Every structure is written in structure tokens, then in C-alpha cells.
Chain A
Amino acid sequence: MKYIIAIIQPHKLEEVKRALEGEDIHLMTVSNVLGQGRQKGRTQVYRGAKESGGLLKKVKLEIAVNEDFVERAIGTITKAAQTGEIGAGKIFVLDLNEVVRVGSGERGSVAIN
């Protein structure tokens, strides 16, 4: 089992979500995050006071998948989140030790979806 964390541009969320659903990946957690990658942040000014390096808004997608879904998920996100410019995002893939479904107490691969 793997835990996939993808940081993408907010406006790409719908597209990525739809593409993942097309690949039969329906369960995900999404959050608003701030980030600074190669795109860098933007300076904000409040009554003349500069606040440099302001972070830019991104969306974080977290998906737990079984091994046979890993490459499919990575490929789908890479394609759908593509912007053709810097700042398109990043995908992190982590090993996942255990999954527990709260409702039934099931564990492991069966609990993943």
C-alpha cells in the first residue's frame, strides 16, 4: 500500500479529481495549503509595509492506494495537473503501513476503499 501526496495548483483540482474518478480512484482527502516551490511566493504590501515571500495557495491531495493503483494514480495526476509552467506541483509517494476502517475495524488492503 502507498500513500500519495500531491501538491497541485488550485484551479487544476476539478480536472485531477475527474481524471482520478475516471481511473476508478474515488477516495481522497483535499486541503488548502500554502506553499513555495520553484514558482516562489508573491510580495504583499499593507500600507507600505512589505511582506515579502508571501506563500502561494496550493491544493494538497492525499490518496491511499493498493500497489496496483500506484502508477495509474501517479500518471493520472501528472497528466491532469499539468500546466506547462513552473509551479505545476509535486507528487510524493510514501509507504503505507496500515489502514483501518473506523466503521468496521477492517484492516489492510480491504480497508483502503
Chain B
Amino acid sequence: MNTGDTAWVMVCAALVFIMTPGVAFFYGGMARRKNVLSILTQCFAIICLVSLQWVLFGYSLSFGPDTGYGIIGGLDWIGLKGVGQDPSSVYAGTIPHLVFMIFQAMFAIITPALMVGAFAGRMKFSALVIFTLLWTTFVYDPIAHWVWGSGGWLGGIGALDFAGGIVVHVSSGISALVVAILIGKRIGYEKQSFAPHNLPITFLGGALLWLGWFGFNAGSAIEAGGLAANAFVTTNTAAAAAGIAWALMEWKMDGAPTVLGIVSGVVAGLVAITPACGFVSVLSSMPIGLIAGIICYLAVTKLKPLLGYDDALDVFGVHGIGGIWGTLATGLFAAVAINSGGADGLLLGNTKLFFAQMVYLAVCITYALVVTWVLYKIVDALVGMRVDKQSELIGLDLTQHNESAYTVLE
């Protein structure tokens, strides 16, 4: 047991926690004023629901002893049975097992919360509650087990994902796209303005995300040491490069750099560096961020209108595309010199890692896509996913939660 490591990972768990309220602010500001509370409520509900699910059985499914074939963890650790103050014999030997568990819990929490931006303004709250529990159990938990669980089959093929580029960002980005397509476009899409209602709130959310991401990425070293330092610095560098890249793209294509643009760019960079942060050098994190800013900008401004789906707040464009790029970039830029537990990437002449990353992407994208589609259909049949037309027009704050964010009189 190491007190430094324990303190560091506990602080990091708290930092990752603040990312989910950060996501709520980030999306809430982009939403229309009649829907901002629905976003905030959904994010806090997800924190509460997944916190309980994780302690009761989610952690056991994800990290519990493998049931064979590397597909899913067993129920041995259900209700945290045997998960206590002593270190685990399998994971993170220098910190209490409980600390490792709660650090991982924060990742499980933020992943479904990332998706709410895609179907903002049109999902029933009851549907969201059921969908979240099913999705986290049948999509997040298995993928987390495959990649990070002891005996997980994807960890075995040599794919690298330091802090959850695929497990968190690609899985939520792809699933968000599926839900956005199935639930349909917002009423008036492409006919009326959907301008963000409060960009300072979005800025606050972006700032909380950037702050929390140090815990997300550097904490994933699970030790207070050199590797955490590397992840910390690559994270900051990639975010900075991506923020500038997105703003420059806007400046050239749309005439001015915007606050929404620079904040979106930073988030895209943070997403892209997530799988790579503990495997690449600081200088490599610059092109990773730069390219993330450019391709995510193009995905949001060009690809989305071209394909015509209404991913309201661009979860797929930022997390899906950014995560896919980051996963491939890990296969390009990784270096054993940075992390002896990693591998060399394509640029250092190793094709094996890049190939493993592609397999890793293909498997997780397919799985998230298919299972999310099935879960959507189940919840839709049970309670109906979308609110009725009248409720959507009045707004989810009033019709789902009986509240409104801003009074007009007094």
C-alpha cells in the first residue's frame, strides 16, 4: 500500500466526478432555454443511478473475476463483496481496492451522461432512466471488462487504451448517434434557430471538463509517478492544440473564432488524447490535438449536415470522431520509451499495434451500435422514448420536471 498513490487516485476520482456536472453545463448552455433543466436533471440522475448500479453489480460485471472467454466479469464482487480497504490482488496493488473501484465508478457515470447531448430536448425522462440502466449494464460494463477487466479478451490482443478513448468516448459517441437517428430530428430542425441559449454556462462546463480530465487521464496511471506526469502534460498539450485548431478552422471558414468553437475544440482534443496520453510523448500529443480539432470541426459542420442526422449537441462529432481518431493515433504515435507496458506505434515501424487498434475499434463500434439499437427498441416498446409533440414544443423543463430555469417576470 502506498499513501501517495492512494491520495492521488482519490483526488482523481473526485476530479472525474466533477466532469459529469461539467458535461451538464457544457450541454445545458448549448440547449434551448426551455430544455436546460432537463439536461442538468438527466446528468444528475445518471450520477445517482450509475453510482448505485456500479456498487451493486456493475463493478463486478466489469472488473470481477472473468467468467471465461474474457466476455464478462462474474458476480463474485456483487454488492462489493470482498472489495474493501486492502488492495486488490489483481488491480492497482498500491491502493485500497475501494479507491480503485470508486475511480472506475466515475468513468461508468460520465459515459452515459455524454450521450444526453445527442437526444437533447426530446427524450422522456422515464425512458432515460430505464435506458441508462440498461445501457450501462449491457454496453459499458462488457466493453470495460473486455479492455480493462482481468482476463478481458480485447486487453489480450494488445490493443491500447490508456484512459478510455474507446470504452468511454467511442462507445458513447456511437451509441449517441444511434439514439439520435432512432429518436428522430427535433421539431423544426433546419427550419428554425437552435442557437445556444447561454454560452457562458457552456464555457464553465468546458472548463470543468478540462480540469476534471487531468484526473481522468493522469489518474489512469493509478499511481502518483512519472507516467501520471506524462499523461497530465500530454492531456493539457493536446487540449491546447485542438482548441487553437478548431478556432482557426472557424476563423478561416466562418469568419470569426467563437467561444463555442474554442471550447468544443478543447473537448475534442481531450477526447483524442484520452487513449494515448500514457503511451505517447508530449510532442506527439500536439499533432494528435491539432488533427482532432480539425476533423471534429469538419464532422460537426460538414458531415452532420451532409448525412442529415440531428445529433443535437454533437456527441458523435466530438466524442465519436475524436475517440476514433485518438484510438488510431495511439497506434501511430505510441512509444515503448514513454511506457514500457505499451508498444511502439506505426511511426516507429510497428504495424502490429495499429492493426490491434483497428480491430479494437471495429469490435467496439459494432457492439455499441447493435446493442444500443436493441436497447432503444426495448425501451421504446416499454414506455416510449420520445415525448409527445406538444411537450416538445413547450419544452422538457416544464413538461417533464414542472420547473423552468429562468423566470420572465421577477
Q: Which residue, B187, B393, B399, B404, has most C-beta atoms of chain A within 10 A?
A: B393
Q: Which residues, 388 to 410 on B, are CB-close (under 8 Å) to A?
A: 390, 393-394, 398-399, 402-404, 408-409
Contact B399 A42 (CB under 8 A): yes
Task: List chain B residues, Cβ under 8 A from A85.
Answer: 390
Contact A42 B408 (CB under 8 A): no
Mark contacts of A43-59 with chain B using CB atoms, 8 A cut-off: 1 yes-contact digit, 0 otherwise. 11110000000111100
Task: List chain B residues, Cβ under 8 A from A15.
Answer: 191-192
Residue B341, interface by CB 8 Å = no
Task: List chain A residues, Cβ under 8 A from B408.
Answer: 32-34, 55, 57
Cα-based distance from A87 to B175 in the complex (angstroms): 37
Contact B404 A44 (CB under 8 A): yes
Residue A76, interface by CB 8 Å = no
Task: List chain B residues, Cβ under 8 A from A46.
Answer: 403
Known contacts A11-B192, A14-B192, A44-B403; can you find 13 more A-B pairs with CB under 8 A?
A: A9-B393, A11-B393, A13-B192, A14-B193, A15-B191, A15-B192, A32-B408, A34-B408, A42-B398, A44-B402, A54-B398, A54-B404, A57-B408
Cα-based distance from A14 to B187 in the complex (angstroms): 13
Contact A34 B409 (CB under 8 A): yes
User: How distant is A40 from chain B, measured CB to nearest CB, in Å?
Assistant: 12
Main secondary structure of the interface of A (DSSP, over half): strand
Contact A43 B188 (CB under 8 A): no
Task: List chain B residues, Cβ under 8 A from A32.
Answer: 408
Cα-based distance from A77 to B299 in the complex (angstroms): 37
What is the size, in residues, of chain B's interface with A at 8 Å between Cβ atoms?
Answer: 16
Contact B402 A43 (CB under 8 A): yes
Contact A42 B34 (CB under 8 A): no
Partner of B398, one of A11, A34, A44: A44
Given contacts A11-B192, A14-B191, A57-B408, contact A42 B394 (CB under 8 A): yes
User: How distant is B387 from chain A, measured CB to nearest CB, in Å?
Assistant: 14
Mark contacts of B178-208 with chain A using CB atoms, 8 A cut-off: 1 yes-contact digit, 0 otherwise. 0000000001100111000000000000000
Q: How large is the interface on A (under 10, 10 to 19, 20 to 34, 35 or more residues)?
A: 10 to 19
Partner of A57, one of B34, B193, B402: B34
Cα-based distance from A9 to B193 in the complex (angstroms): 14
User: How distant is B100 from chain A, measured CB to nearest CB, in Å?
Assistant: 37
Given contacts A11-B192, A14-B193, A57-B408, contact A45 B394 (CB under 8 A): no
Main secondary structure of the interface of B (DSSP, over half): loop
Q: Which residue of B lies closest to A42 (CB)?
A: B398
Cα-based distance from A41 to B394 in the complex (angstroms): 11
Cα-based distance from A45 to B402 in the complex (angstroms): 6
Task: List chain A residues, Cβ under 8 A from B398.
Answer: 42, 44, 54
A sample of 28 cross-chain residue pairs with beta-carbon separation below 8 angstroms, ordered by A number, consists of A9-B393, A11-B187, A11-B188, A14-B188, A14-B191, A14-B193, A15-B191, A15-B192, A32-B408, A33-B408, A34-B408, A34-B409, A42-B394, A42-B398, A42-B399, A43-B402, A44-B398, A44-B402, A44-B403, A44-B404, A45-B402, A45-B403, A46-B403, A54-B404, A56-B394, A57-B34, A57-B408, A85-B390
Q: Which residue of B lies closest to A50 (CB)?
A: B402
Task: List chain A residues, Cβ under 8 A from B409.
Answer: 34
Q: Which residues, 27 to 78 on A, are CB-close (under 8 Å) to B?
A: 32-34, 42-46, 54-57
User: How distant is A99 from chain B, measured CB to nearest CB, in Å?
Assistant: 29
Task: List chain B residues, Cβ under 8 A from A9.
Answer: 393
User: How distant is B408 from chain A, measured CB to nearest CB, in Å?
Assistant: 5
Q: Which residue, A9, A44, A46, A55, has most C-beta atoms of chain B within 10 A?
A: A44
Mark contacts of A1-35 with chain B using CB atoms, 8 A cut-off: 1 yes-contact digit, 0 otherwise. 00000000101011100000000000000001110
User: How distant is B190 from chain A, measured CB to nearest CB, in Å?
Assistant: 11
Cα-based distance from A51 to B398 in the complex (angstroms): 12
Q: Which residue of A lies closest to B389 (CB)?
A: A85
User: How distant is A58 from chain B, measured CB to nearest CB, in Å?
Assistant: 10
Cα-based distance from A11 to B188 in the complex (angstroms): 8
Mark contacts of B360-404 with chain A using CB atoms, 8 A cut-off: 1 yes-contact digit, 0 otherwise. 000000000000000000000000000000100110001100111
Q: Which residue of A lies closest to B33 (CB)?
A: A57
Cα-based distance from A67 to B62 in the complex (angstroms): 73
Q: Which residue, B188, B193, B402, has most C-beta atoms of chain A within 10 A?
A: B402
Cα-based distance from A54 to B406 in the complex (angstroms): 13
Task: List chain A residues, Cβ under 8 A from B402.
Answer: 42-45
Task: List chain A residues, Cβ under 8 A from B34.
Answer: 57
Q: Which residue of A lies closest to B402 (CB)?
A: A45
User: How distant is A18 from chain B, measured CB to nearest CB, in Å?
Assistant: 9
